[in-house]
Amino acid sequence: MKIGCPTEIKPQEFRVGMTPDAAREAVNHGHQALIQKGAGLGAGFTDEDYIAAGAMILDTAEEIFANADMIVKVKEPQAVERKMLREGQLLFTYLHLAPDPAQTHDLLASGCTAIAYETVTDASGGLPLLAPMSEVAGRLAPQVGAWTLQKANGGRGILMGGVPGVAPARVVVIGGGVVGTHAAKIAAGMGADVTILDRSLPRLKYLDDVFGRDFKNQYATAGATAELVREADMVIGAVLIPGAEAPKLVSRAMLSDMKPGAALVDVAIDQGGCFETSRATTHADPIYEVDGIMHYCVANMPGAVARTSTQALGNATLPFMLSLADKGWRQACEDDPHLLNGLNVHAGKLTYYAVGKALGLDVISPTLALKS
């Protein structure tokens, strides 16, 4: 199989879909790795690194899309890239379709087969291709939130850990999954007063057993959430419903009760955001203010630490990429129901229920798509 990896073109996106190590593995399995010139530079990988791994360097994205049987990326294909997809071509990347009708319709029109990293599952019910970026984004969230809290950036002028005689920042993390747990760990490590909210009692018990007094936890009723948000200096949104649009848990009306200059960091922005006032921003212009509250809503947070993120993502995606290349997507998905859960689009049909529900589109079962 010819596996193509174009340069990411989303603003301030420095990650790359395939590392030189992944290219070497693909070549060792008998496949061709086609890498766009300069695709790895943002993550610290040169064209020479890829050539040494046995990959072929092509000058343009048009050449990559025209020649590759499978396209491997990081972020969802942008409009100009979607025009280059063709019938029967396999796309393997993050998609986040639920809040993105334009992308969804373009993928359906292209006739391609699209497998989304974020909906591939594992035997424990986890999301193995989302987890590494969730870990990165969770660890970044308190860091960028602390920057947003600085007075020069419009924030309250609060130091996360305080100093002797001055209280630390109060940080509320909504969601106790991978993102939330890593965010709480880092915020607590910075010395902040941290509370994590979740609706799963087993998850709250786990957090209490493992992290003890590092941070507090509380059941996420609407009342408890409103009370904690009102007193917070920073709120980190870390909620995920796999493949679906994120629920809006902090309304605009709640902002008027918050401390002026408080920071909202919406890690769920890729799935539409979990704050009513969230809108996607970029690393070049990451923050904005609504009703006196600072918002950080960068849609590709891990792109800021591109080398770490690329390596972590590559470690997770490599076995699935090789399976798709070695067997073809049908056999690979038939052999692995967890990979089949990643199938979102095939031959003009939507195959993921949560996306169809969010966008009001008809859906066929992925099992049926295997036979079409």
Q: How far apart are CA 291 and CA 286, in angstroms?
A: 17
Does the annotation count 257 as an active-site position? Answer: no
Backbone phi and psi for residue 99, each to the nearest 5 degrees, phi listed first: -95, 15
- Runs of H (alpha helix) within the chain: 20-28, 47-52, 61-67, 79-82, 101-110, 131-149, 178-189, 201-211, 222-231, 252-255, 306-327, 329-335, 337-340, 353-359, 366-371
Selected catalytic residue, list 96, 182, 295, 346: 96
Chain mean position to CA 27: 28
Q: How far apart are CA 85 and CA 372, in angstroms?
A: 19
Three-state DSSP class for residue 226? helix
Residue 78, Cβ neighbours under 10 Å: how many?
A: 16
Selected catalytic residue, list 31, 270, 336, 346: 270
Max alpha carbon distance in the chain (Å)? Answer: 68
Q: Which amino acid is at 162?
A: G
Does the annotation count 270 as an active-site position? Answer: yes
| Residue positions annotated with a catalytic role | 96, 270
